[in-house]
Amino acid sequence: MSSEPSLAGVGPFGGTSLAEVGARLRNREISAEELTEQALASAHLHNPSLNCFVTIDDEGALRAARQADRELEAGLDRGPLHGMPVGVKDMIATSGLRTTMGSRHFSDHVPVIDADVVTSLRQSGAVVLGKTQTHEFAYGPTSDRAATGPARNPHDTQRMTGGSSGGSGAAVAAGIVPVALGTDTGGSARVPAALCGTVGMRPTQGALPSRGAFPLSPTMDVVGPLAGSVADLAASWWALSAGSDLAGARLPRWKEWAARPPVEVAAVRIASVDSALTQRAGQRSRAAAGLALNALGQSGAASRVVGLPEIDQSARLYGLIQSGEAYAIHAQRVSEHPELFEPEVLERLTAASEVSGWEYVRALEERLKLRASVLERLTTTDILVMPTVPIEAPLVDQRELSGEGEWSGVREALLSMTLPWSLLGFPALSVPVPSTDSHLPDSVQLIAKPGQERLLMDVAAALESQLRAG
């Protein structure tokens, strides 16, 4: 199959890191304003190909960058995101900056508040470069149904980014920004991370504040960052999770946080997941997970296999719960202005309206039991390893799949491996794995128990480092 030239890493943050750029910033080799100008230029240059931004905020970004420069000049250092351009998914409110939810329903919507997570980023000195594309209302893992059209994969612009945080995945993978916010209900941060070759994390359910993030399925919605490396993801996680304590947060506090030595991987109990579900993953996906397990083994981790038949039921429960909750959010819009929805999204909402109250109630009960059962099986396991996605990035607009896995279609396949951890509320992240036989990225998903984001990132960092060394 022919492919477009790759746009991966073409932007100012391609092949570098927050730490490297931060050092240049603090050495005065470059200013935040210059960095932002480079990022803006890259965004304008590549957006026609990638469609990763819905809105590029030249004026606001430059204003924030100049403020960051003045602060550094005055000795005020807000930490690793200080002066760094970031993308914010267009499901997340930004004060004074249009926020469309990827939908014609909100084409002209300008929030009067920042979402709490945006406040956290700004308190950490980040510069909001613009709003990244999202599948309409985040209701789909393909990012090719949105008022402003499909996002495109930097590795091959004929391919989809995955979604729903497709714009964030593409903007980070292209190196336009080092970090972008996504949201993750069934896999909306991890799936585009996997397909675009970035790191992407779903935090523990409830770990980050949800105010200002437009809901899809509130019992499973979380905000999650995407970044070019695990270290950059960790820096953004610090900025997001320091939360309201951040009022007084400055470089010394970041240094204190970052100074904690990482967990020794040899002391971490790692297991690969075995279930009918994981056996449906394609050959490439399973090979990537195997490569990751080997690399972790080389880092000193012994791993075993944990059977988790429970997660085979996840998709059914996820569908019932998400349907009831999503239609509750959109019922009025469906009844008053159905014509403003993307037809596929409207069709899915209509189907969602048909889930019964009692099925929803039962699914909530079953979820609790499933969670208890999985936690029980993980008594002596800290980190699980399995594919993030079972297939490589499909073409934009592709819906059918043939062959391996017998998926009903692209949507089912893309969410299949991520949604169990959404349903159960566990933190999980996707890390790129070197791809040897394709121009498209490979990836692996690591999963931890609730509250263990730091452990998850430590293990991911060890894996990333081993993979780069290998």
The residues carrying an active-site annotation are: 89, 164, 188
Stretch that binds its own copies, among 91-99, 320-328, 392-400, 416-424 (CB under 8 A): 320-328
Nearer to its own copies, 274 or 359 (CB): 359
Instruction: Report the candidate in 187, 183, 182 with the shortest Cα–Cα distance to residue 413.
Output: 187
Stretch that binds its own copies, among 55-63, 185-193, 316-324, 381-389 (CB under 8 A): 316-324
> How far does Cα 455 stand from its chain's mean position?
18
Nearer to its own copies, 2 or 335 (CB): 335
Q: How far is the CB of 363 from its own copies (least distance, A)?
A: 9
What is residue 424's three-state secondary structure? helix
Q: How far is the CB of 335 from its own copies (least distance, A)?
A: 12
Query: Between residue 428 and residue 457, which ones bind its own copies under the rule CB under 8 A?
Result: none
Question: Structure tokens of 316?
Answer: 């059914």
Query: Between residue 177 and residue 216, which ones bind its own copies under the rule CB under 8 A?
Result: none
CB 155 within 8 A of CB 442: no
Query: Between residue 353 and residue 412, which ones bind its own copies under the rule CB under 8 A?
Result: 353-362, 365
Stretch that binds its own copies, among 75-83, 145-153, 317-325, 461-469 (CB under 8 A): 317-325
Nearer to its own copies, 30 or 364 (CB): 364
Q: Please report whether residue 327 would count as binding its own copies according to CB under 8 A.
A: yes
Nearer to its own copies, 361 or 372 (CB): 361
Instruction: Report the candidate in 202, 196, 197 with the shortest Cα–Cα distance to residue 182.
Output: 202
Find the Cα–Cα–Cα–Cα dihedral 195, 201, 202, 204, rounded to 10°: 160
Residue 466 and residue 470: Cα distance in Å, rounded? 6
Residue 427 and residue 340: Cα distance in Å, rounded? 34
Asked if omega into 164 is within 30° of 0 (cis), the reply is yes
Parallel, antiparallel or unpaired: strands 428-433 and 442-448: antiparallel
Strand order in the sheet with 303-307: 53-56, 127-132, 85-89, 179-184, 222-227, 199-202, 428-433, 442-448, 383-386, 270-274, 303-307
Q: How far is the CB of 163 from its own copies (least distance, A)?
A: 23
Contacts of 468 by beta carbon, 8 Å cutoff, 6+ apart? none
Distances (CA, A) of 189 to 20, 104, 200, 206: 25, 23, 6, 16
Stretch that binds its own copies, among 150-158, 200-208, 285-293, 319-327 (CB under 8 A): 319-327
Interacting residue with its own copies among 45, 258, 328, 395 (CB under 8 A): 328
Question: Structure tokens of 287?
Answer: 């090979």
Interacting residue with its own copies among 181, 320, 414, 440 (CB under 8 A): 320
Query: Between residue 65 and residue 94, which ones bind its own copies under the rule CB under 8 A?
Result: none
DSSP code at position 292:
H
Q: How far is the CB of 362 from its own copies (least distance, A)?
A: 5
Q: How far is the CB of 317 from its own copies (least distance, A)?
A: 12
Nearer to its own copies, 354 or 400 (CB): 354
How many residues bind its own copies, per CB under 8 A?
20
Q: How far is the CB of 370 from its own copies (least distance, A)?
A: 16
Site residues, its own copies (CB under 8 A)? 320, 323-328, 331, 352-362, 365
